Structure 1
Amino acid sequence: MPVIKLIDGLNEFVGRVLSVVAILFAGIIIYDVFMRYALGQPTRWAFDVTKQLYGFYFVMLGGYALRHQAHVRVDLLTARMGPGLRRWVELAGYAIFFFPFAWIFASRSWDFAMTSWRQGELTYGAVQLPVYPLKMAMFVAACLLLIQGVSEALKLILNRSPKPEPHDVG
């Protein structure tokens, strides 16, 4: 189905592009540690920048994680169900829990981002950085998560959902 391929492809692309942010994030931390301990000249901006980059990185990968079934799942009941019943229970979970949460996340994060933008909100750390880009990223992430939920629900309806792999939690 083209819409499933489009949504999955978009979240896959976002996840792969954001891997560059992880490299940037690590580079800034290494730079700050080097400046602090090797040269005795800590940076004033690195902590605030890495804190915002980490928040951006963490929130933006929700849709990518859902695409790869990497979210925490409680399979105590569904593990004992047959595949057909499991599909319907998972679909009901999307309808009852996921979609309302994702909609609230998207609508509230939009409100937060617009309020932050209008106020010119800044961080209160050693370096004052604008907050609205991170809050706008929350809105984009909520939308990516919401549309990935649509893709996953369609896969369940069409019986195309990959069987979730059990993950080691220990």
Structure 2
Amino acid sequence: MIKVIDGVNEIVGRIVSVVAVIFAAVIIYDVILRYVFNEPTRWAFDVSKQLFGFYFVLLGGYALRHKAHVRVDILTENFSHRTQRIVDVLGYLIFFFPFAWVFLTRSWDFALRSWNQAEVTYGAIQMPVYPLKMAMCAAAALLLLQGVSEVLKLILDRQEAKQ
């Protein structure tokens, strides 16, 4: 189960990382049109916001897998390895899983409401918003699953090799 969850978040992370290149290209394109040709685009701002939203939310599980989230280990750094694992598991149970569950359930309601209303942006162009809100829900599920993987690694005292 650990390998499957880690593998899914690894694949999603690598695919979504390409969005950063597209995001940068859209911004560069808009800047060149705006300042070199004095012809700003009507769509680049909205598109770049949407792309950044996808990029930001969908990398949560990938970041957790690679230990990229902020940790405050100042209190636990002097604990034994076993005690550190116990504290980490308790942290996941008390803080992470309730947060991830609320994130998942609320983002599901948020996405469903947006889908049912066919919600669009208020910018110069009317882009659909529900794909980004659905991505929030997918991101919450990926984050929650990665949390399960991390707790299993702690309980089994395993460090999975990074791919």
* Class of the TM-score when normalised by the shorter of the 2 chains: over 0.9
Gaps of 5+ in 1: 163-170
Counterpart in 2 of 1:161? 159
Runs of 4+ in 1 over 2 A off after TM superposition: none
Give how far 1:126 is off.
Answer: 1.0
Which of these residues, 2, 5, 23, is aligned with residue 4 of structure 1? 2
Counterpart in 2 of 1:118? 116
Contact 1:152–1:161, Cα closer than 8 Å, also in 2:
no
3-state SS of paired residue (2:116): helix
Which of these residues, 21, 28, 31, is aligned with residue 29 of structure 2? 31
Counterpart in 2 of 1:151? 149
Counterpart in 1 of 2:129? 131
Residue type matched to 2:134 in 1? M
Give how far 1:161 is off.
Answer: 3.5
Counterpart in 2 of 1:83? 81
Which of these residues, 53, 68, 71, is aligned with residue 69 of structure 2? 71
Gaps of 5+ in 2: none
Please list the CA deviations of residues 38-66 of structure 1 after superposition, one character each: whole Å capped at 9, or x if unmatched: 11100010001101110110000000000
Counterpart in 1 of 2:97? 99
Distance 2:76 2:46 in 1: 43
Counterpart in 2 of 1:15? 13
Matched positions, count: 160
Give how far 1:140 is off.
Answer: 0.1
Give how far 1:145 is off.
Answer: 0.2
Distance 2:67 2:39 in 1: 43
Alignment of 1:58 with 2:56, yes or no, is: yes
Please list the CA deviations of residues 28-87 of structure 1 after superposition, one character each: whole Å capped at 9, or x if unmatched: 011101110111100010001101110110000000000000000111211111100000
Q: TM-score, normalised to structure 2's length?
A: 0.96
